[in-house]
Each structure stands twice: as C-alpha cells, then as structure tokens.
A and B are shown apart, each in its own frame.
Chain A
Amino acid sequence: MERKRRLGPMGVLTHAALGIWTLLVTVPIVWTFLASVKSEDEIFGDAWSLPATLQWDNFARAWEQARIGQYMLNSLVVVSFSTFGTMLVGSMAAYVLARYPFRGNRAIYMLFVSGLAFPFFLALTPLFFVVQNMGNVPVIGQFIGLNTYAGAVLVYIAYSMPFTVFFLAAFFRTLPTAVAEAAMVDGASHTRVFFQIMLPMAKPGIISITIFNILGQWNQYQIPLILLQDREKWVLTQGIADISTAAGYDADWAALFAALTLAILPMLVVYTVFQRQIQSGLTAGALK
C-alpha cells in the first residue's frame, strides 16, 4: 500500500508529462464546446468567460443553414462503407500475408508497409485523374467516378490499407497456429477457418483497428475535397470548412464552433465506449 503512493523520479516525470498531455488535449475541446454556446462577441472576448445565456440557436443555424445535418449523414454513409470495406479486405490480406508462405509474400507486405511512409498529398493530383478515369469505365463508371460515394469509399479503403494490414498482420502472427490446424483437420476450408476461427480470435485487434479507421476516415478532408466537389455529396469536414470560408472574413464563428462540436461528439462517444477494447488491442502483442 505504501509503495503505491510513492513515486520515483521517473514516476514524477511520467506523471508530469501525462498531465501536460491531458491539458493539451482537453483544453481545446472544452474551449470548442464552450464557444459553441456563446454569442459571437463573447467568442472574441475572454476565452475563459462563461456565456451569459446559452446560445442554442448556434446549433440550429449550423444544422439547417450550413446543412451540417445533411453532411453528417453523408459522412456516416461514406465512413460506414469504407470502414467495413477496409476491415474486410484488410483483415483478409493481413491474414494471408501473416500465415501463408508463398513467393512474393514479403514483397507484397513491404509494398503495403511502404504505403505508410508515402506522403499522401503527392498522390492527390494523380489520384484525381485516376478517379476521373474510373468514371469512364463502361456500365459501373457512373457509380465509381468523381462525385460518387463509391469512388470516395474505394479511395478511403486504399488509403487505410497500409496501416490496417501492417497492424493486423502483426496481430495474426501472435495467434497460435495449432488452432487453425485443428479446424482444418476438423473439416474447415481456408475461408471458414478465417471467418469462423481466426477472425473471432483476433477480435481485440479487429476492434481497435476498426475504431482507429472510423476516427481517421471521419476526419478525412483532403480526399473528399478533391473527389467530392458536388455540394450535395459533401462530407462533414467540407461542410465545416465551408462555414469559415464561404462568407469571406465574415464567417459565422458561433455556428462554426457548434458544427465542430457536432463533429467531435460522435467520435468522443465511440472512443469512450470502446476505450477498454482499443487499449487491450493495442497492447495485446506486447503482453507476450
């Protein structure tokens, strides 16, 4: 009991660092939440003052005039499909790369991993033309070209693959081989072994990487900026950016903060609910 209270010099440093980190993360969020219910004058006044009256109509303006509601729905559609797709394709690729030795296995894995180091903005222009060309594919072109959800979803998936494959391949390698072999002897095909045995066993890793992808894809701005130029198809990030830029220097700051709050809240909820699983997934490999 005594030992628990006393911290060594390293412990003090660690706690100080964690304290600073906590402030760095929470202060901007709290400030954003606070500003979302202030009037415009109050926002430009003292940052620490509380609003005189709660300006709920900031949210109403953001929701209706700036159409945040519409954009949020668009984001929801794109992110659900792209996260599902990323996890499906990514986990299958990671499993095969982690478990089946074949010629070129290492090369493919390295190709994925090198994607992590690739500066994404370098690919923006060529990516624009690739997706534009996808629009010219006969029959399905109209669904996967520019200004289509499916086109954006495909690019989101490709963009998320490197980290997903990198992380999950490492995770699959830590799972015991004998269980898969037992299932094989029991009469399961490779596909069944993956979906009914290995995937459930990899659940901690799958959950944490799913959350990670949801967060990353929800916050995605550059990709939709070039691929979804039609106002009707915009996602949340574009909608928020539009509030601050549309009116030149006379932006509706209060509505902007309300929109930001609306964008942050769902992610905060997701993270809080799955906090434990994210943690266990990220440390699972290390706990050997």
Chain B
Amino acid sequence: MASIVLTNVDKIYAGGVKAVNGLNLEIRDGEFMVLVGPSGCGKSTALRMIAGLEDISGGEISIGEKVVNHLPPKDRDIAMVFQNYALYPHMTVEENLAFGLKLRKMPKPEIQKRVGEAAKMLGLETYLKRKPAALSGGQRQRVAMGRAIVREPQAFLMDEPLSNLDAKLRVSMRASLNTLHERLGVTTVYVTHDQVEAMTLGDRVCVLRDGILQQVDTPQNLFDKPVNLFVAGFMGSPAMNFVTAELVRGDGGAAVTFADIKLSIPDSTFTDKPGLDQYVGKKIILGIRPSDFEDAGSAGNHANGWATLPVKVEVTEELGSEINVLFLIDAPPVEHKDTVAAADSGEDEEASLPLVGDKSLWTARVNARSHARSGQNLDLVVDTHNLHFFDSASGLAIGHEANR
C-alpha cells in the first residue's frame, strides 16, 4: 500500500486541449479517494495518468514516494478496474484472474491460493471455468474486481466500475465495494460522474471541473461547506436552490431579501462566515439546500426560529419516505456560469419546466407526513442556519476558509 501524490500535474492533448490543469492532490495511504465531476472534467484522464496509460504533460506523480512519471503501467504496481470490465474474452475466469500473477512469475501454488481466496471473497467459485461471455454483467464486474484484488497492488484505480450495472445491482455493489475497502485497506482512487456514488464511497471526494480542482474534502464537508457555486450545485440531489438576493441589515438584525421574501439571518452566521458583513447592502447569490426546508405543518418544534416561506406547490415528487416539492420563486433564475455548468452535468436532475418563464424553479425536500399536493398553497420553513452565500461575480462561497 502506498500514498499517491500528484504535484502540478498537467495534461495537454494534441490540439492544445488542456484536460488536466495544475492538479495537486495527495491521496493518503489506505484512503478511498473519489474523483467526481461532469463528463469532460478530466477525472478519467487524471486516473489514466496515475495508471500510466496516458503521458503526463507536466508536473509529477509519485506512488509510495517513488516518482512514476516515466514508468510503464506494468512497473507501477497498481491494478485497475475498467468501466466495461475489459476481461480477456478468450480466457476462463480463472485464467483472467491468474493472468497478471503469471506474468509476474509467481509460483503456481501461490497463484492458486490467491485466485481461490479472491473467488471465495467475491462468490465466483462456481464460475471459475466459464468464459466471460457466459457471465452476467454483475458477475463480469466481480471478475474485474477479482483481477485487481489477486494482484495485491499498492493501489486500486477504478474508472466508473459500476456505471454499466442496473440501478439495483449498482447499489448492492456499492455496499460490497465499501466492505471490500474496509477489509483490504488498499489505497483506492475511484472515478465517477455520479455524486451519490461519490458521497457514499469516498473517505474524501475531489471535485473537478474543466481540468481544475475545485475542492477536496470529506463528503459531509462538501455538502455543508461547498467552496463555490459549482460544487454547491453539483453535489447533492436534488440540487441546491439559487437566487440572486440582497443582504440587508435593519432594526431586527440582518436578512436576505429576494422576490417578496425576507429571510432573517441569525447572528452566528456572521461569526461563522467572516467577511459576510462587507456584503451588507450588496447583491449576493443565496443558496438553500432542498433538505433545509420543511413543511411548517409537520415540522414540529425543531423548527423554532426558522423563517417561514409561503409558496404555491407546482409539482410534487413522492419518494415514499420524503416528498420533493417543486415551487416557483418570483425571481429570474441565476445564470452564473458555475450554476449552469453544474446543472448541465446532473444526470438525474428533473428537467426544468418550460413553463416557468422568468421565474426560478426551486425544490424543497419535506417529510412524507406533509400533505403537500400540486396546486396547493403551503407554508415552508427554512433552516436559516444553513444558508449559503456566494459572491455574485466570482461565485466563491463567502467566508469559506479556502476563500479567505
């Protein structure tokens, strides 16, 4: 096992496209690091550079203290799992698993032992004599994992390994991956465009956009303290709601106003976000997570001191345990380049209604005890402790420690 360190890594393709731009990233020994971002953000390129399948245009990559810039993949002691599994079609499962070990001139009994152990761990024992063509998608996926595991490498590199599986299998494989990492403790770099996978799997998550690192942190910190509009909009499903608002300070303390709504801001916010008071009287972009809303009727006591927001429900999405309430805010949608980029990439986002016109469509995730139905008027309460404020020009989160 080893740590992987990327220092100022660049990748410039022929034609001048900069796929990865000055990437600095330290993946600690035994860590599960997820690289996430919209398609074309450079996450796969970064992974392939670590693997040695792409040349590095600039900077330095080291695995376990050893600079590997010019080492071919076979000398980097890493194992990789590919999106379409990339099994050797003319070999049986057993031969697929043993191939890498045979090439390393490992003695036969040792190969058999490792292949046996991996097959047992992944439940592949009965399929060892089959060819990949005779396996289901999930089984092929497990063979691909097994091929990585038997190698006992310094690090696992995984390039969207679950994206070809159906939804249900993906969830169960996600859980198996977590257990596997817990048990083996091998440094893992995992690429995905699915932010749910990123949140559930990663010890830390690295958000990339256009080849530039946006933020690296634990999933919870990414969710609670996004560094800019892009990360805020990309992480979390449904996506964060944005509006251009004005920060005001009056007799009753500070507040944000937009449309006809005024949400008061608790004093603690200003101590948490130093620099926010400089924006008083100015336009900012306000962000509210759908999960920070609650139906006033079913919120109960814990909503004490929360601000109230009367809305008219456009559409509801009932998910069983929760209800997504979609409603319109009488303010133009925020058209910052970051929010547009984040929204484009979301694959499971609801397509915006073509009828909303010059208004913003917001989503609130409320408890299923709420009886919100389409067309009704509803009072929502907002947890004003969790409001997010962004500079309307730069898109950076105001008061975030990385932006101070």
Contact = CB atoms under 8 A, between A and B. Distances in A.
A187 B104 contact: yes
Contacts of A176: 84, 86
A189 interface: yes
Contacts of A200: 90
Given A179-B89, A192-B103, A201-B89, A186 B147 contact: yes
A189 B84 contact: no
Interface string A193-207: 000010011010000
B53 A186 contact: no
B contacts with A: majority SS: loop
Nearest to A203: B90
Contacts of B99: 183, 186, 188
A179 B87 contact: yes
B79 interface: yes
A184 B53 contact: yes
Contacts of B86: 176, 178-179, 181-182
Contacts of A189: 74
Nearest to A177: B86
A79 B247 CA distance: 87
Interface string B78-113: 111011101111100000000110011000000000
Contacts of B88: 179, 182-183, 197
Contacts of B79: 185-186
A197 B83 CA distance: 19
Interface residues of A, number: 17
A201 B89 CA distance: 7
A182 B103 contact: no
B73 A178 contact: no
A192 B100 CA distance: 12
Interface residues of B, number: 23
A184 B84 contact: no
Q: Chain A contact residues: over half helix, strand or loop, or mixed?
A: helix
A185 B89 contact: no
Contact of A184 (B72, B89, B151): B72
A247 to B, nearest CB: 54
B231 interface: no
A184 B73 contact: yes
Nearest to B48: A181
B51 interface: yes
A203 B88 CA distance: 13
Nearest to B14: A101
Given A178-B82, A178-B84, A185 B74 contact: yes
Contact of B80 (A185, A192, A197): A185
Given A181-B53, A183-B88, A200-B90, A188 B103 contact: yes
Chain A CB within 10 Å — which of B52, B86, B100, B151 has the most?
A: B86
Contacts of A182: 80, 82, 86-88, 147
Contacts of B52: 185
A185 B103 CA distance: 11
Contacts of B100: 186-187
Contact of B74 (A178, A179, A186, A201): A186
Given A178-B82, A178-B84, A185 B73 contact: yes
B90 A201 contact: yes
Contact of B103 (A181, A186, A201, A203): A186
B239 to A, nearest CB: 32
A186 B99 CA distance: 7
B51 A185 contact: yes
Contacts of A201: 89-90
A197 B151 CA distance: 19
Nearest to A192: B103
Contacts of B104: 187
Contacts of A185: 51-53, 73-74, 78-80
Contacts of A188: 74, 99, 103
A179 B103 CA distance: 16
A281 to B, nearest CB: 15
A197 B99 CA distance: 11
Nearest to A188: B103
A52 to B, nearest CB: 55
A197 B104 CA distance: 16
Contact of A181 (B82, B87, B147, B151): B82
A47 to B, nearest CB: 50
Contacts of B83: 178
Contacts of B78: 185
A179 B89 CA distance: 9
Interface in B16-74: 51-53, 72-74
A197 B87 CA distance: 10
B53 A187 contact: no
A201 B132 CA distance: 13
Interface in A155-198: 176, 178-179, 181-189, 192, 197
Contacts of A184: 53, 72-74
A106 B53 CA distance: 22
Nearest to B76: A185
B132 to A, nearest CB: 10
B12 to A, nearest CB: 15
A192 B103 CA distance: 10
A233 to B, nearest CB: 40
A25 to B, nearest CB: 35
A288 to B, nearest CB: 15
B157 to A, nearest CB: 8
Contacts of B80: 181-182, 185
Interface of A: 176, 178-179, 181-189, 192, 197, 200-201, 203
Given A184-B73, A187-B100, A203-B90, 11 more contacts: A182-B87, A182-B147, A183-B88, A184-B53, A184-B74, A185-B51, A186-B74, A186-B147, A187-B103, A187-B104, A201-B90
**6 nearest A-B residue pairs (beta carbon):** A186-B100, A178-B86, A182-B86, A187-B103, A187-B74, A200-B90
19 contacts: A179-B86, A179-B87, A183-B88, A185-B53, A185-B73, A185-B74, A185-B80, A186-B74, A186-B79, A186-B100, A186-B147, A187-B104, A188-B74, A188-B103, A189-B74, A197-B88, A200-B90, A201-B90, A203-B90
